[in-house]
Each structure stands twice: as structure tokens, then as C-alpha cells.
Homo-oligomer: A and B are copies of this chain.
């Protein structure tokens, strides 16, 4: 998004010029397509969302969506990478202090993202798409494996670092499911500090325990 030239994985094959474009090409058009894609996937989920619907919402021709982002799967990947961006700051939380406090830092970081409605909404949309569609699950898997868990594991100096990072993530993911999606009480209304006190040692144990 730094250059005015068309970008994206698809070759610039233009079968017929887009008819109703605002600025034809350029970063503003690309951004408006990306925003429309986030809204469309968020509201309709991966399966029901369509490149045609995204194009219509952005006021561009569907060919322009393909031109910038490629297939529907690639549009989804670009859209969820934006929505998932706050969560991708987690590896920094691992680095920024001593290793014996990593469980608490990661746990607090996690709740910081999920307790904020603005960052929770796109995460919920991603989880819903991934649970319902294998293609969306594969995109999500690549994102969390390579950019989140892999990076956290890479900073641990323990055996089985990847499995440890995943078991720690599982504790947090399960809380997100029960607290924010299924909304089971008393967990859904419990004070964050109370949860952190119980969960941070578990996350720490998974990451660095014997």
C-alpha cells in the first residue's frame, strides 16, 4: 500500500476495462476494495461472500478486485491479515521482558485484544469463517502458524517449542470460545484480572515449564 502502482498476486490481465471506478487504480481504490472485503467477509462469512459483492460495495468492477488481490481465497487472506494485525503484535509481548514473565505478558496481551470491541469483531468474523469452511481454515492456519505461533516458538529456548506455543494458545483460544462466542457464565462475566491470575501461570507453564 506504499506505491501508487497496481499491486497484488494476480498478473494484470484486464479482460475489459472496469466501467464504474472511482480512480480506476491506485492505493485509494485498493484500500476501498480491502475495506469492502473485510465488511463482506465479516457480515456473510467466507462461504457466502463473493468477489462480485465486494466489487459492488467498493464501486469497482470485479476484475479490479482480482487484479489487486487474486482469487477469492487471496482476497480473504488479505482481508483477514488486516483484521488479525493486532493479534500479530503478540510475539513482541514475548520479547519485551524476562522469560519468566512471558505467560502473564501474553495473557494480558490476549485479553487486551479480545476485550476491545474494535479488535474483537474482526477476530470473531475470522473464527466464524475458519470454523465453517476448510479453505478459510487453511488461510487462518497459515496465518497463525507462520506469523503468530511460529514466531512465539522461535523466541523460546525450550524443546518442543511449537507444541508448547500451541498448547498455551489453546488455553487462551478456549477461553475466547467460552467467554466471547458461547458466553458461558460465570466465565463470560468474570473479571479479567481474576482470569489472568489463574491463566497466566498455565500459559507460562506450557511455554517454559519442565
Query: Nearest chain B CB to A158's CB is how many angstroms away?
Result: 12
A178 within 8 A of B: yes
Query: Nearest chain B CB to A6's CB is how many angstroms away?
Result: 33
A181-210 interface bits toward B, Cβ cutoff 8 Å, 1 = contact, 0 = none: 111111100100011001100100110000
CB distance A132 to B128 under 8 Å? yes
Residues of B within 8 Å of A170, CB to CB, are 171, 174-175, 177-178, 187
Query: Nearest chain B CB to A208's CB is how many angstroms away?
Result: 13
A122-140 interface bits toward B, Cβ cutoff 8 Å, 1 = contact, 0 = none: 0000011011100001001
Query: Nearest chain B CB to A107's CB is how many angstroms away?
Result: 12
Given contacts A167-B199, A170-B174, A205-B202, contact A181 B131 (CB under 8 A): yes
> When the two chains form the complex, which single residue of B137, B181, B190, B198 contacts A183, counting CB atoms closer than 8 Å?
B137
A141 within 8 A of B: yes
Residues of B within 8 Å of A195, CB to CB, are 167
In whole angstroms, how far apart are the Cα atoms of A180 and B6 in the complex?
Answer: 39
CB distance B175 to A167 under 8 Å? yes
Residues of B within 8 Å of A149, CB to CB, are 184
CB distance B174 to A130 under 8 Å? no
In whole angstroms, how far apart are the Cα atoms of A166 and B127 in the complex?
Answer: 20
> When the two chains form the complex, which single residue of B128, B166, B199, B205 contacts A187, counting CB atoms closer than 8 Å?
B166
Residues of B within 8 Å of A57, CB to CB, are none
Query: Can you list 12 pairs linking A and B with CB atoms under 8 Å apart?
Result: A45-B132, A144-B182, A145-B185, A162-B186, A166-B184, A166-B187, A167-B175, A170-B174, A171-B174, A173-B178, A174-B175, A202-B206
